[in-house]
Structure formats: C-alpha cells, structure tokens
Amino acid sequence: MNDYQHILLAADFSAHGDYVASRAQRLAEICGARLSIIHVVDNIPMPDTAYGTVIPLNEDSSYELLEAKKSRLMQLGDQLGIDASSRRMVWGVPGQEIVQMAGQEQIDLIIVGSHGRHGLALLLGSTANGVLHHAKCDVLAIRLQEGGA
C-alpha cells in the first residue's frame, strides 16, 4: 500500500479544530504528504441574483465575517506550514464543496472532525457523514468527545 500523497483538512474553526488540524499535520508528516486546507463559508446569507449567487460585500457584517474567516484560514495555514496555493475558502454546502475539491486536487485522504459546530448529539456530524458517503477517496474522521478531544 502506498502512503497518502495529498491530504485535505476540512477546517470549520470550531472549538476542536486545532486538535483535528494537529492530527492532520502529523499524518501528513508521517506520510510525507502534501497538506491542503478547505474552509466552506455556509453561514452568510447569499442573495441569488440574475448573475448567480453574489457575496454581499457591501454589507458590513457579512464583509467582516468573511474577513475574519479569511484571517482564520491564513493563521491556520501559517501554523501548519501550508503554502498559499493549498488554502481554499469557498462558499457553499460544506460536504459538497469538500468532496468537489478532493476530486479536483487528486486528494487521496480527507480529514474531518467527527463533529463540528453543529454539536455532538449524533455519532457523526452531518458534514462528516456527507463526506464519508460521497467522497471517492479515503476519509478519516477524528473522534471528538464532549469536554475534550
């Protein structure tokens, strides 16, 4: 079996995110793999117009939220030593966008947290579940528990 060559970390910037990121970084080191990150913006209302979905940059709160997310992504990328071309922020449905990037970038392992911002009520969060069902490559869900990693 070959080692993984290109690993994708799905980062939602939730409380457990640093733990998931550190596992991804360690695995990439062990495999000698390239590491990329994706963050999907899914909580800013995007009006549909005749020209498609438009990011409302003229609305201060949306703009500030986007800037904050961008700076979190840059910070995480710097922390993990990931170069700028391997950091992606897109708007959409997280599970779909993560799977789509994995297909486009020849990712062979996607790393997600078992849960994210949507709580620990289920065995697997909805994004992790969606990625697991639709990805064409391996998926590693880092188990997260209440009150710790």
Tally the residues of the chain: 149
Evaluate whether 97 touches 37 at the Cβ level (below 8 Å): no
Residue with the closest Cβ to ligand AMP? 125
Among 70, 72, 88, 117, binds ligand AMP (CB under 6 A): 117
Closer CB to ligand AMP, residue 34 or residue 117? 117
Nearest CA to 20 out of 38, 3, 40, 5 is that of 38
Among 6, 7, 8, 20, binds ligand AMP (CB under 6 A): 20
Closer CB to ligand AMP, residue 54 or residue 123? 123
Question: Does residue 40 belong to the site contacting ligand AMP (CB under 6 A)?
Answer: yes
Distance of CA 9 to CAs 16, 35, 46, 49, 84, Å? 13, 7, 25, 32, 14
Residue 88 makes CB contacts below 8 A (sequence gap 6+) with 36, 37, 38, 39, 101
Minimum Å gap between C-beta 89 and ligand AMP is 9
Among 126, 134, 137, 140, binds ligand AMP (CB under 6 A): 126
Name the helix (H) or strand (E) containing 91.
Answer: strand 87-91
Closer CB to ligand AMP, residue 108 or residue 125? 125
Site string for ligand AMP, 64-93 (x = CB under 6 A): ------------------------------
Distance of CA 29 to CAs 25, 83, 96, 121, 143, Å? 6, 15, 27, 32, 20
- Where does this chain bind ligand AMP (CB under 6 A)? 10-12, 20, 38-40, 42, 94, 112-113, 115-118, 125-128
